Amino acid sequence: MKKWFILGIIIIIILIVLFIPDNQESQELNLENEMKIKTAFTNNGTIPKEYTCDGKDINPPLEISEIPEGTKTLAIISDDPDSPSGTWVHWVVWNIPVNSETINIEEDSNPGTSGKNSFRKLGYGGPCPPSGTHRYFFKIYALDSELDLEEGAPGRDLENAMQGHLLDKAEIIGLYSKE
């Protein structure tokens, strides 16, 4: 009888762990996802050469619109999930000030506090795939506060610091293959 009771408790715990989402998942499920991004390429379009290692290697311009009310800052993480060594982070920046429903980030700019990318540098490092066509995700996050994170922090630290502050998220995907 005691064995069945213990087995029942274990099954209940397993079911709770499997079917109750953690805070991050439930927060993302509640996002409006109304923010919009415009840039030098269309979603799933080719990234122009000047924004890659074959060109000027500068960040593309970004127009972020329909920023939700209550947004204090934006954050950006741009990465390549197709890298043979795992997801390669190209750009990490946060505490981009928001003072209107539309923010324009100029090309070749540093709009906020820079984190360290996978090139082990601050700022933007453009697409430079070793072979084939890769996807580059430009993810914009609307946050309800400034983040207390030191310059040079990696993307994973930014993702942790954003928990509990995320109001909305938008992304655009660009494609690139090296010449």
CATH number at residue 79: 3.90.280.10
Which pLDDT value is given to residue 162?
97
In a domain, 15, yes or no: no
Per-residue confidence at 178, pLDDT binned at 50, 70, 90? confident
In percent, the amount of the chain with pLDDT more than 90 equals 79
173 pLDDT exceeds 60? yes
- In the chain, the number of structural domains is 1
Walk across the sheet containing 45-46 and list its strands.
45-46, 166-177, 133-143, 73-80, 88-97, 113-114
Cα 81 to Cα 160: distance, rounded to the nearest angstrom: 19
Handedness of CA 80, 108, 49, 40 (dihedral sign): positive
pLDDT (tens digit per residue) in 52-77: 999 999 999 999 999 999 999 999 99
Residue 2 lies in a domain: no
Backbone angles phi, psi at 21, to 5 degrees: -70, 150
Query: What is the pLDDT, as a whole number, of residue 33?
Result: 72
pLDDT tens, position by position, 100-148: 989 999 999 999 999 999 999 999 999 999 999 999 999 999 999 999 9
Residue 155 placed within a domain = yes
Dist. CA 136–CA 111, nearest whole Å: 20
Q: Is residue 169 part of a domain?
A: yes
Position 93 in a domain: yes
Give the structural domain span for 124. Answer: 23-177
Is the model's pLDDT at 21 over the cut of 70?
no
pLDDT at 17: 53
Task: Give a yes or no: residue 143 inside a domain.
Answer: yes
pLDDT value, residue 1: 64
| Residue 43 falls inside a structural domain | yes
